[in-house]
Amino acid sequence: MQQHQIIWSIYIKLELNFHYFKYYTFNLTTNKENNMKKLLATSALTCVAMLSSVTLSSAQTTVSGNLALGYKASSTQSPSTAAGKTISYRSFTKESQINLANKGKLNTGVDYAAGFSLEFDGNQGATGLAVASTNDSLASATSENVYFNLILGNTTLHIGADHIQNPDTMLTNIAGGLADIDEVISGINNQAPIFITSTNSAYEAYGVGLIHNFGPITASIYHAPNRTGGQALNNGGNRGSNDVNGTVNAGADTGESQTEITLRGNLGVKGLTTLAYYGTAESGSTTLTDKTTGLKVGARYNFGAITVAGDFAETETGAGAATTVKTESKSVGLGYAVNKDITVGLMHTRSDRNTLPGATERLTGINIGYNLGPVALNAHIAKGDNVGGVVNSEGKAALIHANVAF
């Protein structure tokens, strides 16, 4: 009679990645049955590993960012200062940003992309923090580069903020890197330049858009229900605790909606970059009856070591019975590539505003860009006349900054 060897076995621990389970059995079994159970357990673990591999391979997440540190110095000579006294200013500058991006395929086979960024500039702060917060707040840091896109061939459906085609870019800024000339000059005689870099675009507000790549040109149309709303509401869409008896929290129903169209591409010409933009805002409020519009056209052409560029921008802003403010800016740029890493650029702008007659603002600057791979160095020297549309408001400024990508 064939004898079967009898064993006592205890299965104590099964480990699956981050979870620990304890499984105890007290079995009376044969060698053949024991081997079969080991085989089944091994097969189960293999299946789990395969499923995990499939899940991970269907999506890709990346983290990137940049850090820009700079030093700025400016001086002002203006009739508004006592006895024509020169006022000087010096400070460091800082911008830092972290980007998280994810892309993959839906189970329908459609490509998707999603992501968001956190940006912290040198003057960003919030109530209770011992830092200045004169221009930006921590709220704006959470509305940077937010997007959820569905990609169907050359067409993309976009939902988010600060991610669709950006019209607020200066093609004439050939070697200036992150800083435009108005940012270099800003602060002269305590004035903000009227030169148009922001074209009343609402691309930084939350909205929905379509992007299509036609090859020679990429076109996008974008609609933001609240052009001034850089911050999204919470998941339930709650506007605040004051929504009672017809009284709403500030800004809930006063923002204008905006629709804008942007075209950008080379038109099939090597070395050419073109940009065209138009945006218009319609008010849903009885207190904002006038339109807000923005227009921009520009082109840049590179041939060999030489680059030439030109921009024209126009904005109109009105509110109720107030006078419509119309601003026009023209700029030209010239660049020369000394070698593959060093470029020198010249830029000149002229800006006029209907509410500031006889005070054409003129900005002139020299930029030097030095490419070190993951690090870019940029130096700026600029001079301003009638800065901010104020007659005889003159001054000069210098800025050097390093931008590190990681």
Same domain, 26 and 78: no
pLDDT score at 59: 75
Same domain, 41 and 118: no
Same domain, 156 and 83: yes
Q: Is 227 part of any domain?
A: yes
- pTM exceeding the 0.85 threshold for the entire prediction: no
Q: Give the residue among 175, 185, 199, 163 at the shortest CA–CA distance from 311.
A: 199
Residue range 17-31, pLDDT digits in tens: 333 333 333 333 344
Measure the CA–CA gap between 67 and 95, rounded to whole angstroms.
6
Residue range 239-251, pLDDT digits in tens: 444 444 444 444 4
Neighbours of 296 (CB within 10 A): 26
Across the range 150-154, mean pLDDT stands at 96
* 3-class DSSP state of 287: coil
pLDDT score at 163: 93
Give me the residues paired with residue 399 across strands: 72, 380
Neighbours of 395 (CB within 10 A): 23
Q: Which helix (H) or strand (E) holds 352?
A: strand 342-353
E-strand ranges in 78-179 read 87-105, 111-121, 144-152, 155-161
- Start-to-end CA distance of the chain, whole Å, equals 74
* Phi, psi dihedral angles at 266 (to 5 degrees): -105, 0
Same domain, 22 and 130: no
Residues in the chain: 406
CA 97 to chain centre: 10
Same domain, 367 and 279: yes
Residue range 269-293, pLDDT digits in tens: 999 999 999 999 875 555 555 678 8
Mean pLDDT estimate for the chain: 78
Q: Is 341 part of any domain?
A: yes
Same domain, 38 and 89: no
CATH number for 279: 2.40.160.10
Same domain, 29 and 121: no
Same domain, 115 and 179: yes
Q: How many folded domains does the chain comprise?
A: 2
CB 259, CB 227: distance < 8 Å = no
Q: Is 308 part of any domain?
A: yes
Give me the residues paired with residue 19 across strands: 16
Measure the CA–CA gap between 66 and 40, rounded to whole angstroms.
50
% of the chain exceeding 90 in pLDDT: 50
Measure the CA–CA gap between 327 and 313, rounded to whole angstroms.
8
Token representation of residue 394: 């003159």
Q: Give the residue among 162, 181, 163 at the shortest CA–CA distance from 172.
A: 181
Residue 10 has pLDDT above 90, yes or no: no
Token representation of residue 104: 């993959």
Q: Is 152 part of any domain?
A: yes
**Start-end of H helices in 84-238:** 138-141, 181-185
pLDDT score at 250: 46
Token representation of residue 397: 């400024």
- Contacts (Cβ under 8 Å, ≥6 apart) of 363: 181, 182, 185, 193, 195, 347, 348, 349, 351, 382, 383, 384, 385, 387
- pLDDT class of 122 with cuts at 50, 70, 90: confident
Measure the CA–CA gap between 191 and 275, rounded to whole angstroms.
29
Q: Is 309 part of any domain?
A: yes
- pLDDT class of 195 with cuts at 50, 70, 90: very high
pLDDT score at 287: 52
Q: Is 109 part of any domain?
A: yes
Same domain, 41 and 176: no
pLDDT score at 139: 58
Residue range 355-368, pLDDT digits in tens: 888 899 999 999 99
pLDDT score at 126: 41
Per the structure, the complete domain to which residue 34 belongs is given by 7-48
Token representation of residue 290: 């006038």
Measure the CA–CA gap between 149 and 341, rounded to whole angstroms.
35
Q: Give the residue among 246, 195, 245, 250 at the shortest CA–CA distance from 228.
A: 250
Give me the residues paired with residue 149 across strands: 113, 158
Same domain, 100 and 72: yes
Q: Is 54 part of any domain?
A: no
Across the range 324-331, mean pLDDT stands at 92
Q: Is 217 part of any domain?
A: yes
pLDDT score at 85: 56
Same domain, 133 and 27: no
Same domain, 31 and 166: no
Residue range 68-78, pLDDT digits in tens: 999 999 888 75
Max CA separation in the chain (angstroms): 121
Measure the CA–CA gap between 368 and 140, rounded to whole angstroms.
30
